[in-house]
Structure 1
Amino acid sequence: MGCTGSSRAKGDDFTKKIRKPKSWKHSEPITKTQLMQMREEFWETAPHYGGRKEIWDALRAAAEADLTLAQAIVDSAGVIIQSDDLTICYDERGAKYDLPKYVLSEPTNLIQEN
């Protein structure tokens, strides 16, 4: 019981491809060590924001991987990408996952450590 006109055409792809986030600037210049500390604090507390731990783990792995591997990770975990830079995602049950840009890329005002 289907409509023959509703089948996917060859080449159609409903999977949103991820990309690097746009450039961003932290409120004040920060070092790589400070950025890594911010990231670690976020990932340690992320499961407390709701959603499933295994999805948070997959999102962390994707955030720390190159784009090709990141795409494979989110696809295999069943992550639904709302924003193609991974800042807004959902799991298959509809739970929302908000990722700050600082876990996905480096700011334009990153400074060298002394």
Structure 2
Amino acid sequence: MGCAGSTPKVDEHGKKLKKPKPWKHTQAITPAQLSQMREEFWDTAPHYGGQKAYRISTEIWDALRAAAEAELSLAQTIVESAGIIVSNSDMTLCYDERGAKYELPKYVLSEPTNLIRDG
């Protein structure tokens, strides 16, 4: 409860997710190459952020992966349920409730504009 003139804090959990802006990879890549890049990131992601001493870090990475691979409405539900604080609405920068930072590259969130499609 604050005084009448105080400003309420904005609930960062409520930030609405948006699709990442279009981006271009350094060179044209195939869907298989993009998939491999994503797998490599997710396999090593816990080494790049979160709180290594806490099991919650792994749970947050799992939730971030599920959200990154889901449609926006489901992704929104996932991040809210996991208590993830979304700093950038495209999910490239997030925090857990303890303040640990999680950075996601755009290539795990969307496809590049120079993706080589078959046919």
8 A contact 2:22–2:113 mirrored in 1: yes
Partner residue of 1:3?
A: 3
- Unaligned 5+ runs, structure 2: 51-56
Deviation at 1:50, TM superposition (A): 2.8
Q: Distance in 2 between matches of 1:50 and 1:111?
A: 31
Partner residue of 1:26?
A: 25
Q: What is the identity percentage for the equivalent residue pairs of Structure 1 and Structure 2?
A: 70
Aligned ranges for residues 51-70 of structure 1 at < 5 Å?
A: 51=50, 52-70=57-75
1:2-53 Cα distance to aligned partner (Å, 9 max, x none): 4245586xxx865110000000000000000000000000000001113101
Structure 1 residue runs of 4 or more that deviate by more than 3 Å after TM superposition = 4-8
RMSD: 1.8
TM-score between the two structures when normalised by the length of structure 1: 0.89
TM-score between the two structures when normalised by the length of structure 2: 0.85
Aligned length: 111
8 A contact 1:32–1:113 mirrored in 2: no
Aligned ranges for residues 1-114 of structure 1 at < 5 Å?
A: 2-4=2-4, 6=6, 14=12, 15-51=14-50, 52-113=57-118
